[in-house]
Structure 1
Amino acid sequence: MRFATDTGGTFTDLVVEDDDGSITLHKAPTVPSDPVAGVLDALTVAAEARGLTLAGLLAKADSFIHGTTHAINAIITGRAAKTALLVTQGHRDMLLFREGGRTEPFNHTIAYPQPYIPRGLTFEVPERVLADGSVTLALDEDAVVAVLGDLREAGVEAVAVALLWSTLYPAHELRVGQLIEQHLPGVPYSLSHAVNATLREFRRASSAAIDASLKPLMTRYLGGLTSRLAEAGFGGNVMVLTSAGGMVDAAEVAAAPIRVINSGPSMAPVAGRYYAAREGAWRTAIVADTGGTTYDISLVSDGRIPMTRDLWIGQPYRGHLAGYPSVDVKSVGAGGGSIARVDDAGLLHVGPDSAGSTPGPACYGRGGTRATVTDACVVLGYVDPDFFLGGKMKLDAAAARAVVAADVADRLGCGIEAAAWSILDLATENMVQAIQELTVNQGIDPAEAVLIGGGGAAGLNSTFIARRLGCRRLLIPETGAAMSAAGAMMSDLSTEYAATVHSSTEAFDTARVNAVLDRLRAQAQGFADRAGLPGRIAFVAEARYAGQVWDIDVPLPDAAFASEADVAAFRDAFDAMHEQIFTIRDAASAVELVGLRARVSCTARPESDFRLRTDPEAAAQSRHRPVYFAGRGWTDTPVLRWDSIPADRDIPGPALIESSFTTVVVDPPARFRRSGDGALLIEA
Structure 2
Amino acid sequence: MRFAVDTGGTFTDLVIEDAEGHLNIYKSPTTPSDPVQGILDAFAVAAEERGVLREDLLASGSMLFHGTTRGLNAVLTGNVARTALVATEGHPDMLLLREGGRTDIFNQRRAYPEPYVPRSLTFEVAERVDAQGAVVTRLTEDSVRALADQLRAAGAEAVAVCLLWSIVNPEHELLVGRILHEELPDVPVTLSHQLNPALREYRRASSAAIDASLKPLMTTYIAGCRARLAEAGFDGRLLMMTSSGGALDAAAVAEAPIHSLNSGPSMAPVAGRFFSSQDAESDMAIVADTGGTSYDVSVVRDGRIPWTRESWIGQPFIGNMTGFPSVDVRSVGAGGGSLAYVDAGGMLHVGPESASAVPGPACYGRGGDRPTMTDACLVLGYLDPDYFLGGRSRLDLDAATTAIEVHVAEPLGISVHEAAAAIWELATEHMVGAIEEITSHQGIDASRAVLVGGGGAAGFNTVAIGRRLSCPEVIVPLMGPALSASGALISELARGFEVNGKTSSDAFDHAKVEAVVEDLTARCREFIDDAGDDTLASSVEFAMEARYPSQVWTLQVPVDVEDTRTEDGVARLVEAFHAAHRETFAVADDNSPIEIESWHARASCRLSDPETPDLPPGDGKARTRQVFLAGSGWATAAVWRLDDVPINEPQPGPALVETATTAILVDDGATFMRRPTGTLHVVPGLPPERSPKNGEN
1:41 aligns with 2:41: yes
Compared CA separation, residues 666 and 151, structure 1 to 2 (3 A): same
Task: Supply the distance in 2 between the matched residues of 1:255 and 1:409 (Cα, whole angstroms).
Answer: 51
The amino acid of 1:603's aligned partner reads R
Task: Supply the distance in 2 between the matched residues of 1:515 and 1:190 (Cα, whole angstroms).
Answer: 26
Name structure 2 gaps, 5 residues minimum: 685-697
Query: TM-score, normalized by length of structure 2?
Result: 0.95
Task: Supply the distance in 1 between the matched residues of 2:169 and 2:370 (Cα, whole angstroms).
Answer: 56
2:694 alignment partner in structure 1: none
The amino acid of 2:612's aligned partner reads F
367-376 or 563-572: which moved more? 563-572
- 1:159-558 to structure 2, matched below 5 A, reads 159-532=159-532, 533=535, 534-558=537-561
Q: Is the 8 A contact 1:22 1:612 kept in 2?
A: no
Q: Is the 8 A contact 1:479 1:612 kept in 2?
A: no
Task: Supply the distance in 2 between the matched residues of 1:2 and 1:464 (Cα, whole angstroms).
Answer: 35
Give 1:560 deviation, angstroms.
5.8
The amino acid of 1:463's aligned partner reads V
Q: Is the 8 A contact 2:621 2:645 kept in 1?
A: no
Task: Supply the distance in 2 between the matched residues of 1:104 and 1:637 (Cα, whole angstroms).
Answer: 44
Task: Supply the distance in 1 between the matched residues of 2:213 and 2:475 (Cα, whole angstroms).
Answer: 40
Match of 2:574 among 563, 571, 583: 571
1:82 aligns with 2:82: yes
- Runs (4 or more) in structure 1 with deviation over 4 Å come to 618-622
The amino acid of 2:304's aligned partner reads R
Give 1:546 deviation, angstroms.
1.9
Q: Is the 8 A contact 2:158 2:189 kept in 1?
A: yes
Give 1:436 deviation, angstroms.
1.4
The amino acid of 2:601's aligned partner reads A
1:110 aligns with 2:77: no
Give 1:470 deviation, angstroms.
1.8
2:24 alignment partner in structure 1: 24
Give 1:208 deviation, angstroms.
0.4
The amino acid of 2:326's aligned partner reads S
- 1:639-678 to structure 2, matched below 5 A, reads 639-678=639-678
Task: Supply the distance in 2 between the matched residues of 1:621 and 1:385 (Cα, whole angstroms).
Answer: 21
Compared CA separation, residues 612 and 383, structure 1 to 2 (3 A): farther
Report the secondary structure of 1:264's partner residue.
Answer: helix
1:161-196 Cα shifts (integer Å, max 9, x gaps): 000000110000000001111110121110000011
Task: Supply the distance in 1 between the matched residues of 2:265 and 2:523 (Cα, whole angstroms).
Answer: 27
Q: Is the 8 A contact 2:332 2:431 kept in 1?
A: yes
540-549 or 183-192: which moved more? 540-549
Give 1:209 deviation, angstroms.
0.4
Give 1:394 deviation, angstroms.
1.2
1:611 alignment partner in structure 2: 613
Task: Supply the distance in 2 between the matched residues of 1:599 and 1:550 (Cα, whole angstroms).
Answer: 22
Q: Is the 8 A contact 1:637 1:655 kept in 2?
A: yes
Q: Is the 8 A contact 1:206 1:323 kept in 2?
A: yes
465-474 or 558-567: which moved more? 558-567
- 1:139-158 to structure 2, matched below 5 A, reads 139-158=139-158
The amino acid of 2:457's aligned partner reads A
Report the secondary structure of 2:598's partner residue.
Answer: strand
Q: Is the 8 A contact 2:612 2:677 kept in 1?
A: no
Give 1:58 deviation, angstroms.
1.1
503-512 or 200-209: which moved more? 503-512
Give 1:52 deviation, angstroms.
0.8
Task: Supply the distance in 1 between the matched residues of 2:564 and 2:465 (Cα, whole angstroms).
Answer: 48
Report the secondary structure of 1:535's partner residue.
Answer: strand
1:598 alignment partner in structure 2: 601
Task: Supply the distance in 1 between the matched residues of 2:155 and 2:25 (Cα, whole angstroms).
Answer: 45
Task: Supply the distance in 2 between the matched residues of 1:33 and 1:397 (Cα, whole angstroms).
Answer: 28
The amino acid of 1:148's aligned partner reads A
The amino acid of 2:303's aligned partner reads G
Task: Supply the distance in 2 between the matched residues of 1:612 and 1:490 (Cα, whole angstroms).
Answer: 18
Give 1:264 deviation, angstroms.
0.2
Q: Is the 8 A contact 1:514 1:560 kept in 2?
A: no
Task: Supply the distance in 1 between the matched residues of 2:650 and 2:634 (Cα, whole angstroms).
Answer: 24
Task: Supply the distance in 2 between the matched residues of 1:388 and 1:588 (Cα, whole angstroms).
Answer: 61
Compared CA separation, residues 302 and 635, structure 1 to 2 (3 A): same
1:44-77 Cα shifts (integer Å, max 9, x gaps): 1111111111110011110000011111110001
Task: Supply the distance in 1 between the matched residues of 2:522 and 2:132 (Cα, whole angstroms).
Answer: 25
Compared CA separation, residues 197 and 347, structure 1 to 2 (3 A): same
Give 1:609 deviation, angstroms.
1.6
Q: Is the 8 A contact 1:2 1:63 kept in 2?
A: yes
Task: Supply the distance in 2 between the matched residues of 1:402 and 1:492 (Cα, whole angstroms).
Answer: 47
Task: Supply the distance in 2 between the matched residues of 1:670 and 1:583 (Cα, whole angstroms).
Answer: 34
1:125-171 Cα shifts (integer Å, max 9, x gaps): 11111112222211032222122112212221100000000011000
1:406-434 Cα shifts (integer Å, max 9, x gaps): 00000111111111101101101111111
Q: Is the 8 A contact 1:619 1:641 kept in 2?
A: no
1:581 alignment partner in structure 2: 584
Task: Supply the distance in 2 between the matched residues of 1:36 and 1:74 (Cα, whole angstroms).
Answer: 16
Report the secondary structure of 1:272's partner residue.
Answer: helix
1:372-402 Cα shifts (integer Å, max 9, x gaps): 1111111111111111101111111111000
Report the secondary structure of 1:485's partner residue.
Answer: helix
1:101 aligns with 2:108: no
> Would you say how many aligned residue pairs link Structure 1 and Structure 2?
681
Task: Supply the distance in 1 between the matched residues of 2:586 and 2:410 (Cα, whole angstroms).
Answer: 53
Task: Supply the distance in 2 between the matched residues of 1:49 and 1:620 (Cα, whole angstroms).
Answer: 26
Compared CA separation, residues 117 and 628, structure 1 to 2 (3 A): same
The amino acid of 2:420's aligned partner reads A
2:13 alignment partner in structure 1: 13
Give 1:622 deviation, angstroms.
4.7
Task: Supply the distance in 2 between the matched residues of 1:28 and 1:303 (Cα, whole angstroms).
Answer: 32
Q: Is the 8 A contact 1:3 1:17 kept in 2?
A: yes
The amino acid of 1:402's aligned partner reads T
Q: Is the 8 A contact 2:288 2:295 kept in 1?
A: yes
1:553-594 Cα shifts (integer Å, max 9, x gaps): 121113463222222222222223223323333355432111
422-431 or 433-442: which moved more? 433-442
Q: Is the 8 A contact 2:271 2:483 kept in 1?
A: yes
Give 1:613 deviation, angstroms.
7.5
The amino acid of 1:561's aligned partner reads T
Identity in percent: 53
Compared CA separation, residues 613 and 26, structure 1 to 2 (3 A): farther
636-645 or 451-460: which moved more? 636-645
Report the secondary structure of 2:219's partner residue.
Answer: helix
Report the secondary structure of 1:87's partner residue.
Answer: strand
Task: Supply the distance in 2 between the matched residues of 1:414 and 1:585 (Cα, whole angstroms).
Answer: 54
Compared CA separation, residues 613 and 149, structure 1 to 2 (3 A): farther
Q: Is the 8 A contact 1:525 1:535 kept in 2?
A: no
Task: Supply the distance in 1 between the matched residues of 2:644 and 2:452 (Cα, whole angstroms).
Answer: 22
Report the secondary structure of 2:553's partner residue.
Answer: coil
